[in-house]
Structure 1
Amino acid sequence: MQDLIRRTAAALAAACMAALLLGTPTGAEQRTYQAGGEVVGYYAGWAAYQGYTPDQLPAEHLTQINYAFARIDPDTLTIALENPAHDKKNLAALRKLRQQNGHLKLLISVGGWSDSQYFSDAAATAARREAFAASCVDFVVAQGLDGVDLDWEYPVSGGAPGTIHRPADKQNFTKLLQELRTQLDRQGRRDGKDYSLTIAGAAGSWYLNQIEAVKVADIVDHIFLMGYDLHGPWDTSADFNAPLYTPSGASPQGKSSIADSVQAYLDKGIPAEKLVLGMPLYGYAYQGVSSQNNGLYSTYTSAKSVSYRMLKKNYLSNAAYRQYRHQEAQVPYLYGSRTFISYDDAESLAAKAALARSQGLGGIGFWELSQDDGGELTAAASSAFRSTWGNPFRDVAPGAWYEEAVRYVYEAGLMQGTTGTTFSPGRTSNRGQIAAILHRLEGSPRAGTPPFTDVAAGSYCADAVAWAEKNNIVRGFEDGTFRPEGRITRQQLAAILFRYLEHWGADTAGRADLSRFSDTAAVADYAREAMAWAVSAGLLRGRSDGTLDPAGSATRAQTAVILQRLGALLEEA
């Protein structure tokens, strides 16, 4: 038992001090059901011209890749490639990627914003529908693909200038899909293979009113809900591209959100498992905005789309732009140089993936994969969607660096939320909490009355503080107080852990030279030896600006990481 306690103490020290190095992002939504479902990514053929070839795709995070786009030949009303040589080269590379990742499905996506002009013509008669479907099936077989994705933008009305529309598109869209389904299934029986049929649908009730939504959902494997472009350069005012929730503030234009769009599909009677929530890997930059409200809802002089790749390169590390996060909309934005930039990051996409989980949706997806060439957004959202625990905390973002740690401490009963639905990861941990955590790890022994004037006998941390003081692990202040609600600093925590290890006879011999840190003089005398030990052991490092920051705080998220790492280290011991 004594040996286990010693190992526990040493592990806790390493975990605590390492946790001080972490940051504290925020955000979130509840997730409730088991891992699974689709993770779909569109890969645009033109991305290869820009150097992002299929072999660079984050296949490990995807279940389906839609190659965008094939078009409809206006003369034959059958499927055709924009650039046959280039597209077939890309498709060959995608097949090679699938060989290396057997779980992947490859679909050809037909249409898109620029190539939906002739869908109405192709769907107008039974003969045309049959010919179009046959051409798609032949193409899929010839190219060794797994199905077809239709991105008709849009039946009945809308879409790019020049797009042909008919009132009968609403019914003809259903008939076109049914013909495709019939022919794909027929081919599948020949091949002994299940071919997929999916569509992309706009975010909004207006789109649902232009299709036979329930009939369509019954035919297709899933509907990729295009959860983006709720606002953009077509608006009169700068706004969020894809807010997760609708902000409450006044706006000069109509407001909506991704959550509203998902609910509209569900309210229409579309089964949740047939929906794949699409997410943007790009944002919009509005130039010439006013400084009021950091540019949000301002008029602007020009606007453009900006990929996440370019955001990282030109904006996120640019001191001229300040980063903000809209707490209601749960999306980030930038403001600087009279420019407002709406975009999504790992945290906001993870929150959207959490919404998909909480609603029981069939998957998540992305437009377009080359815009996140490092794959960090794709990975964050995929990880969040596939997480399996029932997270009760709205403010613990799925995919956040501390999420698994919060799960660990919550399920182990070591830490609870600050309310039933919040964990407050960014809130500073206090001195009483740290004493209580160490006390629980010791089995919560009774230790009498704490000797401090501000720790009442009935306090939650009374036994913990009494035990820790008795064993010279914590000390009070000159005025006889312990200040249990006072924030715990880096140097205080180093000192507490240093004494804790000494109490159990652990090795604390190492001492580092702290003079290399510019603020070494700020280290209190009582903590200097403990800080030198922590730095020597590699447990405490300086900040990026060359400071040691001895008075810096430790948060609840970092405290959760302390306990999780303790558990992992004990398993290895």
Structure 2
Amino acid sequence: MAAILGAILLSFLTLRANAADCTTATVGSPYSNCWDISVAAQINLDQLLQFNPGLDCGALQIGQKLCVTAGDLPTTTPQPNPDGSCQTYKTVAGDYCALIGTQFGITAAQIEQFNVNTYKWRGCANLQLDYTLCVSPGTPPPIPVNPNLQCGPESPGAAECPLKACCSAFGFCGVTDEFCKPAPNGEPCQLTRKVGYYAGWAATRGCNPVGVPQLVLTGFTHVIYSFAEIRQDMTIGFENPSDYPRLQELVTKAASTSTQVLVAVGGWTFSQGATKDRFSTMIESAANRAAFTASCNQFINQYNVAGIDIDFEYPASVERQGPPSDTPNLTTFFREFRAGLGSSRTITIATPAGYWFLKGFEMDKIAPNLDFINMMSYDYHGPWDATIPSEDGTAKPQSSVLDMIDSTLLYVKAGVNMNQVNLGLAWYGRTYKLLDSTCTGYGCDMTGGGNVGRCTGESGILANFEIDNIMLDADIRPVLDRSSQTRWFNYNGDLITFDDEGTWAAKTQFAKDRCFGGTMVWSIDQEIPKSNALPGTNLPVVLASTSLNTKWEVPKAGTCKSYGERVWSSRLWDIPSGMDWVQACRQSPLIWDNRNFGLPDECDDQGFLGGVIGRWYYSSNDEYCRPHWGSNANDGCVAHGVRKWYSRLWDVSSGVDWMTMCRSTPNVVNGMTYLGPTYCDDKAVLGAWGVWEVDDESCSGSWGNLKDNGCADTVGKREWSSKLFDIVGSWEFACENRETVIEDEYFPKATRCEKHITGIWGIFETQDITCGVPPCPNDKTWDYSVGACMDCGGSSRLMSVTREVSPERNSTLPSAVGHSSFSRVKTHQRSMSNFTLVPRSSLEKRVKYCDAFWLPRPTPRYFPQFPDTWTDPARAEGPSAADIAASSTAQQAFQEAWNDSFPTPTTAREVGGWIYADPENPNRTRISIDLNNPAGATGRPPPAGWVLVANFHTHPPSEHWGENSDNPSTADQLNAWARGVPGIIISNNGLRAYGPSRRSQMNAPPGYPMGNEEYNGQNSAGTRVGGNWTPQRAPNQQRP
């Protein structure tokens, strides 16, 4: 062990290079916070802060160097290369300047300084992936060369354009505005379009229909109504007559937002089945092309739309047996279509993102006749991959930004100006049925599409509102895959991949960085804005009161009032004439979307224009109001019995007050659940931090080894002394408030305290019949109050120990404290001050033929529990000792403990463990063979909510244990009753239980019955359990 510790410390500490340098420590596992570093370096926290002026313990970075002695931090800044160039580093996912700095011993400010002249450096706030930057002084790295570019810094030789033409931001030459005119903000790239497709059939679907009134068009420059078709006579029209008035409704609505409306022709379904050849037929002859063009002109004029979007999926594709002539014919069509519609009409096209289908388009020839191109940059992968030989049959993101990079290069190579292209964003997700339902994340083997969507009615696809409902109902927190910028989660054997606001924002930024002209969405009827479950609805559609006939608007979600509690608001309509608005509000409950909001918590009369607004503080599993704490950091003891912990609050939703969520977000700290921190610390850009100052017995000092000083001056008393270590605060207070157990007697504090040059010593006086007590008859015992032998029954009788004691053996027998597992687990006990308990102050012992006497016993301290897991009193009790002993699983653990009791053929030791049960199902148990740590189970704590129901330990036969008895010792009894759980002794003769018969409800929540009091427990000698089971002889056991 000493060798291992030495190796760890050598890797942790770096010796001084010269007299002026300090000894340094590196932040990282296992020393990741100030307290751990101080302990490992054998200094205190004050010294660590003294050696590192300005150190912020809440902002340590992995790899950061700290001084743990006096002196200056050694200079580790990288130096320039011999040729004068800087040393470089290439960024990876998750990097930020402060983190990079810790790897090279530099700061974020130095990184900014080193890269002032580095090509395309945008500052630490806009760090780019796969970017090569300087981490030392020196000349910046060379500009990367792209052999495909015609001009600009990244072209071969930094070429200039012939004839002094303009060089665009993409590295191509030209003389038009797209090459020469910068964006209004001074940047070469800008997004000027936001296009959304609307599936007309969404208005009539049976589940969550979205009509034109529910659409939110704010921010969209164009909305494309889908889909019209090409009739047999080569004219444009809708198959469903209801699409015509719905299109007119959309045109009317869009006029108020200056959004242009186009109509899409075709689509995937139209390009399959009976109509799969219709596009080929239309474009193959001049007469058919002319007929379609004339029909579109008439349609545009009649319905006042801005233009036509062509969605041909896909020309010349083998999947639809398309003829090769589709490719040149389509080019001809667009040239004639532009001529026929004129320059005032908008013509667009939806195009695939991959080479396989894009090769059917002559993009460089088509593009000049188009206003813009909608690149369908989604569905790169899906359930169909299971049947494609070139794919590996695993679940992949359907809209990865990595695939979008390849698509961008494909379009550039095809001769398309990316400013003419809109990057496609999917407002839906793909689902996979996993071969192994326990596999999580991308790369899991799949067999096809996932479960059918409730509204979409298809396997393999879910609308975003369906995905939202799944996450809310199942309380799921999706995982962000940073490399693809997609989200995923597992649900009912499916893997679901999708986009949300965060990944859409990342892809929109990608579009801007790659100089796309805009973005496109398929489709705006599949996403529900988080602020309103029915976008754009402001009509009174929810019945509020049957007696008043009032109606609420569909409620809108606002900010958070506290953890898990969100503010919802709605305007009240149809208030009876003459009735006070606020009074009507207070009498109008709200039930909406299967949620019972009840009566409003607030009613706000906003006058004639604003009406009366109701507000509800509604608790739900909405992730918007459920941030989480990061890892807890141990900041050490701050007072006697008090330890300080801190943690940063993460995932606070945009617009929500940090401090409000900090004060109300629960956290499990050192095994205890707290509804909020002791106080919150707002660290501005570093976020909100919670600080917990919690009871911790390990901060109360600890007694060292006991020294037997012989008989005390008091008759019948023996004096012991022990030194007090790890004092926090006043030594007098620490000594007066530190408990211990000596010779089976409990001391809430020392008999007296003494301060010497060697430290603080506690003096304890224990009962001992060998210290001047005269012998008493069998029917009498010594009574301290009168100083004589008296009849049994007095209040201050002397208790003798259970084993026989003689003056000759008393000085050589090991202390009973060595046999008490109760004394070994002090640091793992916690007070539960919020539980109301029946006090018990004694432990039964019998002396000779007297009635029961009682030794002092400690105030019970209870193992940490989680009240939320309790469901009913019956389940709170747990299995009995007899139930546990009869379990074959438990007997297997007992045998393992028995085998471990004989580490060598000549030694024996006690081995024990702890048994936990699930309160929801007491038949489910966990067993930990670890006598010294009830919070540990094979190296890790039990799952949150599991409760301690029993302990066990061995009594192996050996000289050291005095031919160990089958019966429990007083220390065993004390341990069992202090924890409120039965104990089980394993000996050569089988199993014997002691303490309560089953888990006492000593630490159940208030209101639960206090069953299993001491008189309902086992008798003092224990009770035989487990039938005839006895342990098999251990491999190293020499004595029977």
Shared fold by TM > 0.5?
yes
Q: Would you say 1:165 and 2:311 are equivalent positions?
A: no
- The residue number in structure 1 matching 2:301 is 141
CA deviations over 1:159-211 (Å, ceiling 9, x no partner): 6xxx46111111111111112111111xx6xxxxx210000000112233211
Q: CA distance change for structure 1 residues 427 and 315 in 2, over 3 Å: closer, same or farther? A: closer
Confirm or deny: 8 A CA contact 1:245 1:329 kept in the other structure. Answer: yes
CA deviations over 1:33-52 (Å, ceiling 9, x no partner): 56541100000110111321
Match 1:232 to one of 352, 358, 382: 382
Q: Would you say 1:324 and 2:479 are equivalent positions?
A: yes
CA drift of 1:307 comes to: 0.5
Question: How far apart are the structure 2 equivalents of 1:69 and 1:299?
Answer: 32
Confirm or deny: 8 A CA contact 1:295 1:338 kept in the other structure. Answer: no
The residue type equivalent to 2:367 in the other structure is A
Aligned partner of residue 504 in structure 2, secondary structure: helix
Spell out the pairing of 1:38-437 with structure 2 (5 A cutoff).
38-50=193-205, 51-73=209-231, 75-84=232-241, 86-102=242-258, 104-116=259-271, 117=276, 118-158=278-318, 163=320, 165-185=322-342, 194-236=344-386, 237-246=393-402, 257-290=403-436, 291-294=438-441, 296-300=443-447, 302-303=449-450, 304-319=460-475, 321=476, 323-374=478-529
Q: CA distance change for structure 1 residues 376 and 367 in 2, over 3 Å: closer, same or farther? A: farther
Question: How far apart are the structure 2 equivalents of 1:90 and 1:199?
Answer: 22
Question: How far apart are the structure 2 equivalents of 1:128 and 1:68?
Answer: 22
Question: How far apart are the structure 2 equivalents of 1:123 and 1:275?
Answer: 24
For these two proteins, the number of residue pairs brought into alignment is 371
Q: CA distance change for structure 1 residues 341 and 129 in 2, over 3 Å: closer, same or farther? A: same
CA deviations over 1:328-385 (Å, ceiling 9, x no partner): 11211011322111111111111110110001111001001110132789xxxxxxxx
Q: TM-score, normalised by structure 1?
A: 0.58
CA drift of 1:315 comes to: 3.3
Q: Would you say 1:542 and 2:664 are equivalent positions?
A: yes
Aligned partner of residue 373 in structure 1, secondary structure: coil
Confirm or deny: 8 A CA contact 1:322 1:336 kept in the other structure. Answer: no
- The residue number in structure 1 matching 2:1024 is none
Question: How far apart are the structure 2 equivalents of 1:427 and 1:266?
Answer: 45
What RMSD in Å do the two structures reach over aligned CA positions?
3.7
Confirm or deny: 8 A CA contact 2:215 2:524 kept in the other structure. Answer: yes
Q: CA distance change for structure 1 residues 339 and 110 in 2, over 3 Å: closer, same or farther? A: same
CA drift of 1:297 comes to: 3.6
Ranges in structure 2 where 5+ consecutive residues have no aligned partner: 1-93, 96-125, 129-184, 387-392, 451-459, 533-558, 560-627, 640-644, 650-657, 668-673, 689-1040
CA deviations over 1:127-155 (Å, ceiling 9, x no partner): 11111111112111111100000000000
Confirm or deny: 8 A CA contact 2:663 2:677 kept in the other structure. Answer: no
Confirm or deny: 8 A CA contact 2:350 2:373 kept in the other structure. Answer: yes
Question: How far apart are the structure 2 equivalents of 1:29 and 1:126?
Answer: 54
The residue type equivalent to 1:71 in the other structure is E
Q: CA distance change for structure 1 residues 554 and 123 in 2, over 3 Å: closer, same or farther? A: farther
Confirm or deny: 8 A CA contact 1:208 1:265 kept in the other structure. Answer: no
Aligned partner of residue 398 in structure 2, secondary structure: coil
CA deviations over 1:381-410 (Å, ceiling 9, x no partner): xxxxxxxxxxxxxxxxxxxx9xxxxxxxxx
Q: Identity percentage over the alignment?
A: 28
CA drift of 1:292 comes to: 3.1
More helix by share: 1
Question: How far apart are the structure 1 equivalents of 2:466 and 2:684?
Answer: 34
The residue type equivalent to 2:265 in the other structure is V
Ranges in structure 1 where 5+ consecutive residues have no aligned partner: 1-25, 189-193, 247-256, 378-400, 402-425, 432-474, 480-485, 491-533, 561-573
Question: How far apart are the structure 2 equivalents of 1:233 and 1:136?
Answer: 37
CA drift of 1:557 comes to: 5.0
CA drift of 1:476 comes to: 12
The residue type equivalent to 1:88 in the other structure is Y
Question: How far apart are the structure 2 equivalents of 1:164 and 1:131?
Answer: 24
Question: How far apart are the structure 1 equivalents of 2:306 and 2:348?
Answer: 11
Confirm or deny: 8 A CA contact 2:352 2:375 kept in the other structure. Answer: yes
Confirm or deny: 8 A CA contact 2:267 2:311 kept in the other structure. Answer: yes
CA deviations over 1:424-479 (Å, ceiling 9, x no partner): xx998999xxxxxxxxxxxxxxxxxxxxxxxxxxxxxxxxxxxxxxxxxxx99979
Aligned partner of residue 300 in structure 1, secondary structure: strand
Q: CA distance change for structure 1 residues 151 and 301 in 2, over 3 Å: closer, same or farther? A: closer
Confirm or deny: 8 A CA contact 1:289 1:340 kept in the other structure. Answer: no
Confirm or deny: 8 A CA contact 2:200 2:226 kept in the other structure. Answer: yes
The residue type equivalent to 1:548 in the other structure is G
Question: How far apart are the structure 1 equivalents of 2:127 and 2:351?
Answer: 24
Question: How far apart are the structure 2 equivalents of 1:42 and 1:259?
Answer: 23
CA drift of 1:270 comes to: 0.4
CA drift of 1:77 comes to: 2.2
The residue type equivalent to 1:137 in the other structure is N
Confirm or deny: 8 A CA contact 2:230 2:237 kept in the other structure. Answer: yes
CA drift of 1:286 comes to: 1.6
Confirm or deny: 8 A CA contact 2:382 2:431 kept in the other structure. Answer: no
Confirm or deny: 8 A CA contact 1:224 1:365 kept in the other structure. Answer: yes
CA drift of 1:263 comes to: 2.0
CA drift of 1:245 comes to: 3.5
| Higher Rg | 2
CA drift of 1:296 comes to: 3.3
Q: CA distance change for structure 1 residues 540 and 239 in 2, over 3 Å: closer, same or farther? A: closer
More strand by share: 2
The residue type equivalent to 2:398 in the other structure is A
CA deviations over 1:472-494 (Å, ceiling 9, x no partner): xxx99979xxxxxx97768xxxx
Q: CA distance change for structure 1 residues 309 and 96 in 2, over 3 Å: closer, same or farther? A: same
Aligned partner of residue 292 in structure 1, secondary structure: coil
CA drift of 1:267 comes to: 2.2
Q: CA distance change for structure 1 residues 298 and 550 in 2, over 3 Å: closer, same or farther? A: farther
Confirm or deny: 8 A CA contact 1:42 1:366 kept in the other structure. Answer: yes
Q: TM-score, normalised by structure 2?
A: 0.33
Question: How far apart are the structure 2 equivalents of 1:346 and 1:69?
Answer: 27
CA drift of 1:81 comes to: 0.8
CA drift of 1:554 comes to: 6.7
Question: How far apart are the structure 1 equivalents of 2:442 and 2:356?
Answer: 29
The residue type equivalent to 1:292 in the other structure is C
Larger CA deviation: 310-319 vs 278-287: 310-319
Question: How far apart are the structure 1 equivalents of 2:325 and 2:223?
Answer: 31
Confirm or deny: 8 A CA contact 2:189 2:515 kept in the other structure. Answer: no
Q: CA distance change for structure 1 residues 171 and 556 in 2, over 3 Å: closer, same or farther? A: farther
